[in-house]
Structure 1
Amino acid sequence: MKRFTTTDAKQIDLVDYLESLGHYPDPRMSHNQEYWYLSPLPGRNENTPSFKVDRRKGLWYDHGIGKGGSIIDLCMLYHSCGIPEALTRLQDFLSFHRNPLQNLPHSGNVPLPDKEKKIQVLSTGPIVSPALITYLGQRKISLGIAREYCREVQYELNNRKYYAIGFPNNAGGYELRNAHFKGSTAPKSVSFLNNRAEEISVFEGFFDFLTYAVIQKTEITNTNILVLNSLAFLEKARLVIEQHASIYLYLDRDNAGQKCTAQLIKENSKYKDRSLLYYGYADLNEWLTRQSLSSHKQPLEKSEPEEIARAVQKRSLGLGR
């Protein structure tokens, strides 16, 4: 098989790729193959688009942080990864979405279609696909938990049909995941589960929430749940979040998530950092997937600080308060 190169990756249409991640341009500001977005980069929160894509040249620039580059640079920043992982992600995108440029020679002057392609939901139902059930197993999420909170969504993109695990948001859209795709349908928003509790648990992505449900092993009724589906929604959600007496943060342990957690704790004492429970891992689900099926009650990696290990042992990894 021919090795996938940076040249191959740069033939991918930036607008189509951003759409697959759930980001769409502002139609009022986009014209002549220049597209403006609210920045899709982690940790960026803005009300006026400052992220520009030059579709003809295959380049982007985020005026808010003064950075730009190719689709490879975008993928690396978006997923907090290096070049090898970025190339793998972009190759998967090509494999599953048949980008119209994949067989064309790379050129900054290649004309691209003006029509915006949207993810169209065709149908939803209970999760029954063997491929999706296998994927859930790889992420250590039980089918029962997944069926309680998610749907199997069949959708169309670029005139091709696909299916994914769909997690509904409060605006009627879905976060979509399968083994090779991460995206969302419009409109994109947060997902709030109201159990009429005095406390709230906040997650960055829905697989971390599903992981929480798996570890709890009982129906989640003692806490309200907010899945941000993007850190960009955090600021807008704070009015709802801060109505609660206690706020537990299960954000990613990357730079954006940790910076956000530290700032919230500094501003309001109701916020509590629960990411120490998966110290040494990118997020809660990564911690779970690294454990054996019978070791949920074992402490995390020995390399973590002793006080964290003791705290985890005390809670028996049941995420107790």
Structure 2
Amino acid sequence: MKKKEMSCERARKISIVKALEFLGHLPTRNTEKEAWFLSPLRSETQASFKVSKKLNCWYDHGLGKGGNCIDLVCALSKVSVSDALAILAQANTGTYELPTPQQKVNKESQIEIKQIKPIRHPALLQYLKKRKISLIVAKEFCREIHYTINDSYGFSIGFQNNSGGWELRNKYFKSSSAPKDLTWIKNRSENLIVLEGMFDLLSLTALYPNLKREADFLILNSIAFADRALPYFDNYEVIELYLDRDESGRKTTELFLNENSKCIDKSEFYSDENDLNDWLMKRK
């Protein structure tokens, strides 16, 4: 059956705020009349991208440009008008109704988890593809997490830690729900692989699928948890370190090497890049 095409007239009436949410953007301030975002069109630290709810139009004060919903999707996704209409047709399917919360609000992070399900949202699939992670690999370790932050709604790739909190990532959002903790994945091995974040794990298992049967994994989820990781090392004969090559990553690697003689620094093979995923994305 042929799908009904989205017309330009209908597309212009789609809420820009809802379209941005569909594409993974959350407002930093949301009132009855307007919403402010960190610009999705460029990098910034203070929100200067305004959406007028009354007029349903946007204006990026940093760029001095604005327009309607179609203009925004064309600029944001770098696509033609016809492709933008296809994206907006998905955003207009009414998928924003949220189910009953599965977890209580997290006072520390103010992130309230609404739904946990298998990864299938088109924006998240595109994000994984950009980072060269297959859906098969991602589904083994991650979930699609829908959540609210105060009055804003969002969804991300989620990676759970030992205490039940979630590391949350999408193209424009990087955060976590409390409680924050390490993630220990046990496969009854005497070898341990230590990584800094979820995309390091996904990248390594994308490169070497058999590792899932040959080693246990310890994901720090934050360099701040380096000291918390040390007691885990006592359970293993060999500990391989795949940490970032930036200053904090190198300091943590040196800490582990000095504290435990079983540790081996394995970051040399991606020494030209900051981390495993940066290296993977630049591979042909």
TM over 0.5: yes
Match of 1:201 among 181, 193, 204: 193
Q: Kindly tell me: are residues 198 and 180 of structure 1, through their superposed partners in 2, closer, same or farther at Cα, counting changes over 3 Å?
A: same
Q: Which runs of 5+ in 1 are unaligned?
A: 1-19, 21-86, 97-114, 293-321
Q: Which runs of 5+ in 2 are unaligned?
A: 1-27, 29-41, 51-106
Q: Kindly tell me: are residues 89 and 202 of structure 1, through their superposed partners in 2, closer, same or farther at Cα, counting changes over 3 Å?
A: farther
Q: Kindly tell me: are residues 216 and 118 of structure 1, through their superposed partners in 2, closer, same or farther at Cα, counting changes over 3 Å?
A: same
Is residue 237 of structure 1 aligned with residue 229 of structure 2? yes
Listed one character per residue, the Cα deviations across residues 101-146 of structure 1 (whole Å, up to 9, x for unaligned) are xxxxxxxxxxxxxx97700000010001000000000110000010
> 2 CA distance for matches of 1:143 and 1:217?
13
Aligned to 1:256: 248
For 1:175-214, what aligned pairs fall within 5 Å after superposition?
175-214=167-206
What's the secondary structure of 2:119's corresponding residue? coil
> 2 CA distance for matches of 1:132 and 1:241?
34
Match of 1:90 among 33, 39, 45: 45
Letter aligned with residue 261 of structure 1: T
Is residue 223 of structure 1 aligned with residue 178 of structure 2? no
Is residue 152 of structure 1 aligned with residue 107 of structure 2? no
> 2 CA distance for matches of 1:181 and 1:192?
24
Moved more, 265-274 or 153-162: 265-274
Contact 1:202 1:251 in 2 (8 A): yes
What's the secondary structure of 2:253's corresponding residue? helix
> 2 CA distance for matches of 1:219 and 1:188?
26
Question: What is the Cα-based RMSD across aligned positions, in Å?
Answer: 2.4
- 1:94, distance to aligned residue in structure 2 (A): 6.9
> 1 CA distance for matches of 2:49 and 2:234?
43
Q: Kindly tell me: are residues 274 and 95 of structure 1, through their superposed partners in 2, closer, same or farther at Cα, counting changes over 3 Å?
A: farther
Aligned to 1:174: 166
Listed one character per residue, the Cα deviations across residues 178-229 of structure 1 (whole Å, up to 9, x for unaligned) are 0000000011111110001001000001100000110013361110001110
Aligned to 1:285: 277
Contact 1:124 1:153 in 2 (8 A): yes
- 1:234, distance to aligned residue in structure 2 (A): 1.6
Is residue 135 of structure 1 aligned with residue 127 of structure 2? yes
Aligned to 2:18: none
Identity of aligned residues (%): 41
What's the secondary structure of 1:186's corresponding residue? coil
- 1:89, distance to aligned residue in structure 2 (A): 5.0
> 1 CA distance for matches of 2:122 and 2:181?
28
Contact 2:109 2:178 in 1 (8 A): no
Contact 1:249 1:274 in 2 (8 A): yes
Q: Kindly tell me: are residues 124 and 264 of structure 1, through their superposed partners in 2, closer, same or farther at Cα, counting changes over 3 Å?
A: same
Contact 1:117 1:158 in 2 (8 A): no
Match of 2:113 among 96, 121, 127: 121
> 2 CA distance for matches of 1:270 and 1:118?
40
What's the secondary structure of 1:272's corresponding residue? strand
Listed one character per residue, the Cα deviations across residues 24-66 of structure 1 (whole Å, up to 9, x for unaligned) are xxxxxxxxxxxxxxxxxxxxxxxxxxxxxxxxxxxxxxxxxxx
Contact 1:126 1:147 in 2 (8 A): yes
Q: Kindly tell me: are residues 272 and 120 of structure 1, through their superposed partners in 2, closer, same or farther at Cα, counting changes over 3 Å?
A: same
> 1 CA distance for matches of 2:186 and 2:150?
36
Moved more, 171-180 or 261-270: 261-270
TM-score (norm 2): 0.63
Match of 2:260 among 264, 268, 293: 268
Contact 2:165 2:181 in 1 (8 A): yes
Count, aligned residues: 190
What's the secondary structure of 1:154's corresponding residue? strand
